Amino acid sequence: GNSVTQMEGPVTLSEEAFLTINCTYTATGYPSLFWYVQYPGEGLQLLLKATKADDKGSNKGFEATYRKETTSFHLEKGSVQVSDSAVYFCALYYSSASKIIFGSGTRLSIRP
């Protein structure tokens, strides 16, 4: 079946450090891929997305590239800020299934 696996947290980094959160997926066909962010006490917000192989999604300094050959969609940021502290979810969407499948979430904490 379709599934998403992302690295377990929590991840703790110092401000201005480089961030990578790994995400791999299992799916038949070509799903759309997403990263969502959840700040404390809030709902999920779309951070970035990619809808086909080799697409790169980017927003707020975050980037992720849809890699079909490795079935991955790793999230990266060159220099994190304290305000990036949140829970990050990798997700895939399959139109034939009419649902969005989420990974287990990775809690990120940034130290000043």
Partner 1 sequence: DTAVSQTPKYLVTQMGNDKSIKCEQNLGHDTMYWYKQDSKKFLKIMFSYNNKELIINETVPNRFSPKSPDKAHLNLHINSLELGDSAVYFCASSQEGRNTEAFFGQGTRLTVV
Q: Cis peptide leading into 31, omega within 30 of 0?
A: no
Site string for partner 1, 5-44 (x = CB under 8 A): ---------------------------x-x-x-x---xxx
User: In this chain, which stretch among 11-19, 20-28, 64-72, 97-105 interacts with partner 1, using CB under 8 A?
Assistant: 97-105
Considering beta carbons, is residue 19 or 44 the nearer one to partner 1? 44
- Using CB under 8 A as the binding rule, whether residue 101 contacts partner 1 is answered as yes
Report the residue from 28, 29, 95, 112 that binds partner 1 according to the rule CB under 8 A: 95
CB 78 within 8 A of CB 18: yes
CB 50 within 8 A of CB 33: yes
Considering beta carbons, is residue 49 or 74 the nearer one to partner 1? 49
Phi then psi for residue 38, to 5 deg, are: -125, 110
Site string for partner 1, 51-90 (x = CB under 8 A): x-----------------------------------x-x-
CB 92 within 8 A of CB 100: yes
Binding site for partner 1 (CB under 8 A): 32, 34, 36, 38, 42-46, 49, 51, 87, 89, 93, 95, 97-102, 104-105, 107
